[in-house]
Amino acid sequence: MKTAESLMNKPSRQKLRAVSNGFVERIIEEYAALCAPARITVLDDSEQDRQYARRLSLANREETALAMRGHSVHFDGMKDQGRDLVNTRVLLSPGATLSKSIETVGREQGLKEILGLLDGIMRGKEMLVKFYCLGPCNSRFCIPALQLTDSAYVVHSEDLLYRQGFGEFKRLRGGKNFFHFVHSAGVLQGNVCRDICNRRVYIDLEKERVLTVNNQYPGNSVGLKKLALRLAISKAHREDWLCEHMFILGAKPAGKNRVTYFSGAFPSACGKTSTAMILGQTIVGDDIAYIMPGKDGRAWAANVECGIFGIIEDVNSADEPAIYSALTTPRELIFSNVLVKDSVPYWLGMGKELPECGANFSGDWFSGKKDDAGKEILPAHKNARYTISLKGLENVDPNLDSPEGVPVSGFIYGGRDSDTSVPVLQSLSWAHGVFIGAVLESETTAATLGAAGVRKHNPMSNIEFLTVPLGVYIENHLKFGSDLDSPPLVFATNYFLKEGGRLLNQKTDKKVWLMWMEGRVHNEFNAIETPMGFIPVFEDLRRLFREIFNKEYPKADYEKQFSVRAKKLLEKLDRVEAVFKEEDNIPEAFCLHLAQERERLAETMKKFGKETISPFELCESR
């Protein structure tokens, strides 16, 4: 059997020795013996090595160059178009328990299965070894991460999304405090995974590693993204900080010399990236945040990433001008699962007429093409994506790589809710805000495999990634805020309220909701107390619409958007209560807020004698 070093060329051996870490060497040796690659290439932080991965991905035809400089496209297979929530499992040691909503597999059984799938899987292929840093380098937020994969597309994606970490591993001085990830796309047929039926993503909390096989879609293959999120949630629990599925943005109100930082948790396709990219604001990150207490008694946050893997559907010049501009100008950028015609990408909702034929995730595509089940194939997938570095964007925040992070003044929880929740509200307290995050519901989208449009309970938009019991996770949030001198204010948003099938607000209105939240942080706006939290006063919103968009905001719109749908809200509480009854050790504070909110809603319905109460009526009754 060949040793790992014997499969490397001289530069790779020199780079590995420069890291000077026996644990790293043992990991590479272990998986070289198991996966049996034809050769191993070790990559460092140099631009030369970054370009090596990109060129290899193009040469392997994992990606194809497009007409615009720096742009390329990648296609996942028909059945590999979203996160696989069923086959993504936590390896569970004997006696350990997790929430029922978390997929698990016995540790011994799971390791036997996935190590069997990895056995010889890289035969004839090249194993790439790459070093990254989760969070800003050389900071308290930093977690080094080692990636082993046979996919140059995975490395190219991670080079855009994460900070280079070769230097960080040197600073470990042989230490073992890092995550590691092993991935193989498996056998490719037509440049897509052949053995999707054997797709597995197994999270090993004990060894802080993830083993993933027979997949290409980044949600399943890019170890440092949602897979590292699961490892970090477990680590944060042990170390008393928060690892959250959150963006971080800097809100900059016009005419005021200040930046107010918010972090926000939104399930996929609920406006998360578009909120992080609101025109005129700065973006620190759009997906995952590490949040730690500061010496000043405030919460401080850092972006785990330095890039965006965003949903591209409905990104157009009118609704998402900042993102659209970035996607239509020369830069290093990977499109995935869009439609390509004459080396030009097209996607759903881009504001242009789409070609009648081209190449997409189904292969050669033409209008009217159907899948094996007889369902018409869309020109681009609804979960089509773009992968882009933040550092080339005009609106990137100057503190993106700050070792201190940024001070967070507000948490925002947002979902996709067509008939119940108001566009924006503020919690009554930190603990009530934790309750609001914990009862978050959202209608499912194409970002995960399975049916779309199903109302799903998704606490803090993080339920899919939890590696601690839900009750423990909620208790951690309660404790985190109570230990701070100035905990962030907590807000909730919903951009998807409808009437007669039509949205009650425009997508760009989210800037007004953000500026209202920013003003509340600085005590500049009044609010109406309702059973579910504080909502804006009409006059404040009317002024904001005039200042931001130079347009009138009708009273009728305000009334429809901010009416308290008490009966619908009570039905929601019934749904989430049923879910929490299945969980163990739910904090008493959570149960208290559930009972109090139900009582407030019932009293309001009785007082006004109706199921839906106008905000004007609530204001007059104060």
Residues 283, 549: Cα–Cα separation, whole Å: 21
Rounded to an integer, the average pLDDT of 148-163 is: 98
Residues 411, 172: Cα–Cα separation, whole Å: 33
pLDDT for position 392: 81
Q: Is 88 helix (H, G, I), strand (E, B) or coil?
A: strand
Is residue 140 located within the same domain as residue 226? yes
pLDDT for position 456: 85
Q: How many CA atoms lie within 13 A of 153 on its CB side?
A: 30
Q: What angle do CA 448, 451, 455 make, to 5 degrees?
A: 90
Domain boundary among 239, 255, 274: 239
Q: Are 218 and 185 in contact (CB under 8 A)?
A: no
Q: What angle do CA 287, 242, 323 make, to 5 degrees?
A: 15
Rounded to an integer, the average pLDDT of 380-408 is: 95
Is residue 221 located within the same domain as residue 346? no
Which residue range(s) make up the domain with 48?
5-239
Task: Return the bridge partners of 425, or none.
Answer: 492
**pLDDT bucket at 578, cuts 50 / 70 / 90:** very high
Residues 272, 321: Cα–Cα separation, whole Å: 15
pLDDT for position 331: 96
Is residue 54 located within the same domain as residue 191? yes
Q: Can you spell out the DSSP letters for 345-401?
A: EE-TTSSSPPPSEEEETTEEEETT-B-TTSPBPPSS-TT-EEEEEGGG-TTB-TTTT
Burial class (CB in 10 A: 0-12, 13-18, 19+), 86: exposed
pLDDT tens string 14-71: 999 999 999 999 999 999 999 999 999 999 999 999 999 999 999 999 999 999 999 9
**pLDDT bucket at 619, cuts 50 / 70 / 90:** confident
**Number of Cβ atoms within 10 Å of the Cβ of 599:** 11
Q: Please list, in sequence order, all residues whose beta carbon lies within 8 angstroms of the beta carbon of residue 193, skipping any fewer than 6 positions away.
A: 76, 77, 80, 185, 186, 187, 199, 214, 215, 216
Is residue 111 located within the same domain as residue 44? yes
Q: Domain holding 282: CATH number?
A: 3.90.228.20
**pLDDT bucket at 605, cuts 50 / 70 / 90:** very high
Residue 199, pLDDT above cutoff 80: yes
Residues 336, 324: Cα–Cα separation, whole Å: 16
- Total tally of structural domains belonging to the chain: 3
Is residue 146 located within the same domain as residue 265? no
Q: Are 537 and 502 in contact (CB under 8 A)?
A: no
Residues 349, 361: Cα–Cα separation, whole Å: 17
DSSP label at residue 492: E
pLDDT for position 269: 75
pTM exceeds 0.85 for this model: yes
Residues 172, 589: Cα–Cα separation, whole Å: 41
pLDDT for position 177: 96
pLDDT tens string 66-118: 999 999 999 999 999 999 989 999 999 998 888 888 899 999 999 999 999 99
pLDDT for position 450: 54
Rounded to an integer, the average pLDDT of 439-443 is: 89
Residue 509, pLDDT above cutoff 70: yes
**pLDDT bucket at 620, cuts 50 / 70 / 90:** confident
Is residue 503 located within the same domain as residue 540? yes
Q: Is residue 314 part of a domain?
A: no
Is residue 468 located within the same domain as residue 576? yes
Q: What does pLDDT average to over the chain?
A: 95
Task: Return the bridge partners of 290, or none.
Answer: 243, 302
Is residue 419 located within the same domain as residue 565? yes
**Number of Cβ atoms within 10 Å of the Cβ of 252:** 19
Q: Please list, in sequence order, all residues whose beta carbon lies within 8 angstroms of the beta carbon of residue 116, skipping any fewer than 6 positions away.
A: none
Instruction: List active site positions.
Output: 270
Residue type, 564: V
pLDDT for position 2: 81
pLDDT for position 1: 64
Domain boundary among 358, 392, 426: 392
Is residue 99 located within the same domain as residue 228? yes
Q: Is residue 532 part of a domain?
A: yes
Domain boundary among 189, 210, 239: 239
Q: Is residue 557 part of a domain?
A: yes
Q: Please list, in sequence order, all residues whose beta carbon lies within 8 angstroms of the beta carbon of residue 63, skipping any fewer than 6 positions away.
A: 54, 57, 72, 73, 74, 153, 156, 334
Of 244, 233, 242, 337, the residue nearest 286 (C-alpha): 244
Rounded to an integer, the average pLDDT of 428-454 is: 79
Is residue 347 located within the same domain as residue 402? no
Is residue 260 located within the same domain as residue 230? no
Residues 355, 345: Cα–Cα separation, whole Å: 10
Q: How far apart are the first and last CA of the chain?
A: 79
Q: Domain holding 100: CATH number?
A: 3.40.449.10
**pLDDT bucket at 480, cuts 50 / 70 / 90:** very high
Residue 460, pLDDT above cutoff 60: yes
Q: Is residue 523 part of a domain?
A: yes
Is residue 348 located within the same domain as residue 407? no
pLDDT for position 238: 95
Q: Is residue 316 part of a domain?
A: no
**pLDDT bucket at 621, cuts 50 / 70 / 90:** low
Residues 106, 112: Cα–Cα separation, whole Å: 10
Q: Poorest-confidence range of 140-144, 246-250, 409-413, 447-451? A: 447-451
pLDDT tens string 162-197: 999 999 999 999 999 999 999 999 999 989 999 999
**pLDDT bucket at 622, cuts 50 / 70 / 90:** low
